[in-house]
A and B are shown apart, each in its own frame.
Chain A
Amino acid sequence: SAVISQKPSRDICQRGTSLTIQCQVDSQVTMMFWYRQQPGQSLTLIATANQGSEATYESGFVIDKFPISRPNLTFSTLTVSNMSPEDSSIYLCSVQLAGGPTDTQYFGPGTRLTVL
């Protein structure tokens, strides 16, 4: 397994502002993903964070709204830009470990975002 940290753990933000969430892993990883999850709902993939290149976004998510960086193998950031109350959610990073079990993702503790 791996230790995955996310910062901040929670935040309350004003409409129109931006928040950057950091994800740090203590092991070598192959893939890093960013998800959004509403309480009581399943996980929705926002994008795959690619090292040294632009992230791969899922349908319904765009770079201008959710810019992602991954400067090295173990660190990534997700920014939620120009926030609205609809962006209130839990944001999770997950990783697939290098040499790890097939189709196994390990998750950070999540960032609980409330937009007023």
Chain B
Amino acid sequence: GQSLEQPSEVTAVEGAIVQINCTYQTSGFYGLSWYQQHDGGAPTFLSYNALDGLEETGRFSSFLSRSDSYGYLLLQELQMKDSASYFCAVRRLDSNYQLIWGAGTKLIIKP
């Protein structure tokens, strides 16, 4: 089957850097996606990695290592508004683009 594992909660200080890890198990792999969801809001797409390496988008970066079945989301210069839940996801095999979702990581930012 397919599964993803990510920490349930991460705490960091405003202005710092935080890394949210995601490991996945799947017999086939297309790429790893990251989504952000604020309390009471809908998930919003952050990034997608299909190839090994680091993708940077402003303060957010996402990394993928296909050989290690591992990726992470890196948030720099943390702001209070970054307090949210972060989900990693992979495409479900033999599907019409359905996604398998991690359980989510709640990021708590302290002043």
Contacts and interface: CB of A to CB of B under 8 A. Distances in A.
A61 to B, nearest CB: 13
Given A45-B98, A109-B41, A104 B104 contact: no
A107 interface: yes
A70 B106 CA distance: 34
Contacts of A43: 43, 87, 101
Contact of B97 (A41, A96, A108): A96
Nearest to B87: A42
Given A42-B102, A43-B87, A103 B42 contact: no
Interface in B22-45: 30-31, 33, 41-45
Given A109-B41, A110-B42, A103 B99 contact: yes
Nearest to B43: A107
B45 to A, nearest CB: 5
B98 A48 contact: yes
B97 to A, nearest CB: 5
Contacts of A69: none
B104 A103 contact: no
Contacts of B90: 103
Nearest to A100: B45
Given A31-B96, A42-B103, A48-B98, A101 B48 contact: yes
A105 B45 contact: yes
A19 to B, nearest CB: 19
Interface of A: 30-31, 33, 40-43, 45, 48, 56, 92, 94, 96, 101-110
